[in-house]
């Protein structure tokens, strides 16, 4: 699917790496979103955090169901702000973790019921990954859900940074976003380790190189 899209883009010229979003939206079936959508339809009044570039369609759809929506573009924040504050004795970068979390995930004590994490963890610098997951755990209500996508490989068109837009059906729409380098691919085991302190998770099979997971707080 994505390969056909990028092939069309290449025929019309090179892909653009610009702030925000660019290009058409392509439907992608999502078993995880289908399950979460039914939950959102059945339980109005939830507080939702979307960790991607602002999507008016996401906001409009989710608020139409009676939910409150908050936005935080974690990938852009991580790469466009200077959170590296020096190096340790071995030359490894030292990161201002508290500063990043305060800047990007400070919601004045609000607790969330749903987090749309998408592929965020694939593109964050390594020192930020575990602290973000820990911070989300403390910022969510028990029984809350995280919708996360994980790349299973780091090459090919599927590894390009994209934005996901929810729909009223069983698919999400994929749109090319500002390009940041993919940092890692996840295995089932690495996902389990990262969310070891959570109540549980459910994985969904996908035909492309992206794994879908619903994690329960």
Interval 127-143: pLDDT, tens = 999 999 999 999 999 99
Interval 169-189: pLDDT, tens = 999 999 999 999 999 999 999
pTM (2 decimals)? 0.90
pLDDT beyond 80 at 9: no
Buried b / exposed e over 132-157, threshold 16 CB at 10 Å, is bbebbeebbeeebbbbbbbbbeeeeb
**Which pLDDT belongs to residue 77?**
95
Band of pLDDT at residue 19, cut at 50, 70 and 90: low
Contact 216, 35 (CB under 8 A): no
Which structure tokens are listed for 50? 């979307």
**Which pLDDT belongs to residue 130?**
96
**Which pLDDT belongs to residue 159?**
86
Helix, coil or strand: residue 212: strand
Interval 139-152: pLDDT, tens = 999 999 999 999 98
> What is 2-216's CATH number?
3.40.50.150
pLDDT beyond 50 at 13: no
Domain coordinates in residue numbering, the chain: 2-216
């Amino acid at each position: 699917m994505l390969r056909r899209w990028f092939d069309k883009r290449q025929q019309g010229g090179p892909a653009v790496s610009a702030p925000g979003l660019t290009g058409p939206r392509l439907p992608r079936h999502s078993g995880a979103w289908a399950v979460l959508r039914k939950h959102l339809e059945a339980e109005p009044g939830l507080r939702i955090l979307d960790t991607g570039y602002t999507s008016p369609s996401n906001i409009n759809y989710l608020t139409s169901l009676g939910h409150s929506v908050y936005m935080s573009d974690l990938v852009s924040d991580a790469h466009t702000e200077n959170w590296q504050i020096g190096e340790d004795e071995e030359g490894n970068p030292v990161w201002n973790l508290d500063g990043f979390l305060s800047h990007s995930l400070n919601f004045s004590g609000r607790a969330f019921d749903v987090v749309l994490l998408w592929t965020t963890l694939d593109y964050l610098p390594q020192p930020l990954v575990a602290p973000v997951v820990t911070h989300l755990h403390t910022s969510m209500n028990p029984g809350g859900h995280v919708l996360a996508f994980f790349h299973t490989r780091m090459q090919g068109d599927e590894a390009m940074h994209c934005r996901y837009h929810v729909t009223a059906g069983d698919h999400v729409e994929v749109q090319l976003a500002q390009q940041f380098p993919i940092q890692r691919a996840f295995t089932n085991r690495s996902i389990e380790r990262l969310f070891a302190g959570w109540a549980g998770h459910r994985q969904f099979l996908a035909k492309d190189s992206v794994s879908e997971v619903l994690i329960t707080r």
